[in-house]
Amino acid sequence: MSRLETQHIFLISIGLIVLGFYSPSAWLQMKVAKRRKAVTRGLPGALDLMQVAIEAGLGFDAAMNRVAKEFGRFCGPIAEEFTILQLEIQAGKPRDLAFAELERRTGVDVMASFANVVQQSAEFGTPISQALENYAIEMRQDRELKAQAKANALPVKMSGVLAAFMMPILLLIMLTPIAIRWTTVLTVQ
């Protein structure tokens, strides 16, 4: 084996070690972000379904179990989290601690707000179905505002890209006739 081959093997080994060290963490962060996004997107629909179940006569816990069972096909993470929450409550964990654990597990702001809505509704005696409906509407409005903000920022981002790709072409179009004229003038003399 020559010295050059040994160096290549060493560099490849170092690269593979670095890749092996950082890739599981990056993969896990990607999965966490995907799960959080699924929870954020699916929660308004789950709340609507829960509100309908409560208005149909189910209690809050029964409605949450029903949503976890029915919603599992559409948004698995929410169904899993609701199931875990209900299992913790059934095992005897206080409701506020179970909701705090739900907030910690998901790491999503909307789930923390959902827990606050449920706890405040129970505390103040307001109808839970109305609170869930209002919160679902608020979440949809927030998502719409975020989408509008992204759409409004798009022209600014596009202008830089367009300038970067259009400017060289425009310069080429403007300078080509000048270059042709100079070459003809210089070749004539």
Closest CA to 64 of 115, 138, 134, 125: 115
Q: Is the pLDDT of residue 42 over 70?
A: yes
Contact 131, 121 (CB under 8 A): yes
- What pLDDT, in 10s, does the model give residues 172-182? 899 899 989 89
* pLDDT band for position 189 (cuts 50, 70, 90): low
Q: In terms of C-beta density within 10 A (0-12 exposed, 13-18 middle, 19 or more buried), how is residue 68 classed?
A: buried
Which domains does the chain possess? 20-156 (1.20.81)
3-class DSSP string for 46-84: HHHHHHHHHHCCCCHHHHHHHHHHHHCCCCHHHHHHHHH
How high is the pLDDT of residue 1? 63
- What pLDDT, in 10s, does the model give residues 80-95? 999 999 999 999 999 8
- What pLDDT, in 10s, does the model give residues 119-161? 888 888 888 888 888 888 888 898 899 989 998 888 888 888 8
Q: Does the predicted model carry a pTM greater than 0.85? A: no
